[in-house]
Amino acid sequence: MTSSPFPRRVALISVHTSPLAQPGTGDAGGMNVYVWQTATRLARRGVEVEIFTRATSSADAPSVAAAPGVTVRNVVAGPFEGLDKRDLPAQLCAFTAGVLRAEAAQAPGYYDVIHSHYWLSGQVGWLARDRWGVPLVHTAHTLAAVKNASLADGDTAEPQLRVIGEQQVVGEADRMVANTQTEAAELLSMYGAAAERIDVVTPGADLDCYTPGSASAARAALDLDPDEMIVTFVGRIQPLKAPDLLVAAAAPLIRESAASGRKLRVLIVGGPSGSGLQRPTALMDQVAELGIADSVTFLPPQPAERLVQVYRASDVVAVPSHSESFGLVAIEAQACGTPVIAANVGGLGVAVDDGRTGVLVNGHGVGDWTNALEKLLAQPDRLVELGHNARSHAEQFSWEHTVDQLLESYGRAMRSFAAHRSPESPDSSATAAAAARVRRRWRRRRNRVTV
């Protein structure tokens, strides 16, 4: 079997959120972790990585050497602040111009592969692919059609603009990277993707960072009661992630625990995001209305070294999302030896081994979640067993394994693209000529002297 080509340099495109941003704030989340972790590990394998993202502050340097072999390019496109994902389609032209200028300053053939993340980036990558004459690999991370099919109460449907944009990217990408077989099936059934162009590449966790440790020490570090039961939510506070479901389900158990001897606490770690920004205090208001404010602790998004302590301090981590392409929080928690209770949606069925490392709950009924939580928390010996199994399960999901699979996908894309753009291909000369014209134009602009 012919080995896949190895890329020398990869352009990662992440329009709407920088991998340097703190996950859990604004639009930053699992995708940030994915881009950063894969970029740094690709660099360790000898692949140079340049990440293009939108500048969100005048203090952002145009280019940042973020790690050995990894450069983050902050492209100015629109105002620095006050834009969310729904505003960004209007800035794609400006962003794309910045990406093309960066490449035009280099020798032809500077990048070997473009890897776009989320549909906005796919739109940029699609044009760059045609101009540069290199393959486009795309990871959707979330799909509008999937989200709209399982909207949470109070959430806003994704606009048709995004659905159309995603459809275009699916049709144009040389390869699609899906997190799980479930997501691959959704690409096939909802977007008509070509099965032969889909690679399933499972995300991972930083298994050197997220490790089991002392629960009592973690609670001391976080100033949490050593004797309470703790159920934790980690993520962006928005209807999609359903922290309101966890609070509602835990409320009767909190009241019962007050009289039973061992109190129950819900720990919420994250910040408002997406449609949750419309009512940023909604979750706190709900807690107050339920009369459980004394038993719910809110923490802001935590850096990895503190998030480890959050997971270790928890008896159970809850992931009640209405849709989830994978669920990095579930893997990170299990890597710390903490069992997970999660909604049986999307990739969570892969991230959690039901009955062995945690519990999957069908649906989002408050009563169902209350019953599942009550049964789980009432069995301390089972929690210990689940936690022990959780670490071994998480070890199957390393970022090194993810990068192994990505390199294979890049190689397939490069090999297929080269075959279709060979000298015998009717459109190869036109594509090369167009790319050369773009480079010449941008070089003239760069070298122009202003008097």
| Binding residue numbers | 16, 22-23, 27-32, 85, 118, 142, 162, 236, 241, 302, 311-312, 314, 324, 332, 338
Would residue 291 be called left, alpha or beta, if left means φ above 0 and alpha means ψ between -120 and 50 degrees?
left
Are 48 and 152 a contacting pair, CB within 8 Å?
A: no
Handedness of CA 49, 52, 57, 61 (dihedral sign): positive
Contacts of 132 (CB under 8 A, 6+ apart): 103, 110, 111, 114, 435
The annotation places the binding site for 1D-myo-inositol 3-phosphate at 16, 27-32, 85, 118, 142, 162
222: Cβ–Cβ under 8 A, 6 or more apart, which residues? 299, 306, 309, 310, 313
DSSP type of residue 164: H
Count the helices and strands in the chain (H runs, E runs): 16, 14
Which residues belong to the annotated binding site for UDP-N-acetyl-alpha-D-glucosamine?
22-23, 30, 236, 241, 302, 324, 332
Question: Is-contact 144 163, C-beta < 8 A?
Answer: yes
Backbone dihedral angles phi then psi of residue 76, each to the nearest 5 degrees: -80, 120
The whole-angstrom separation of Cα 143 and Cα 146 is 5
- Per the listing, tokens 């909190």 go with 254
Where b means 16+ CB within 10 Å and e means fewer, 248-279 reads bbbbbbbeebeeeeebbbbbbbbbbbbbbeee
Burial of residue 80 (CB within 10 Å: 0-12, 13-18, 19+) is middle
Closest CA to 250 of 239, 238, 242: 242
Rounded distance, CA 281 to CA 271, Å? 10
Output the known binding site for Mg(2+). 311-312, 314, 338
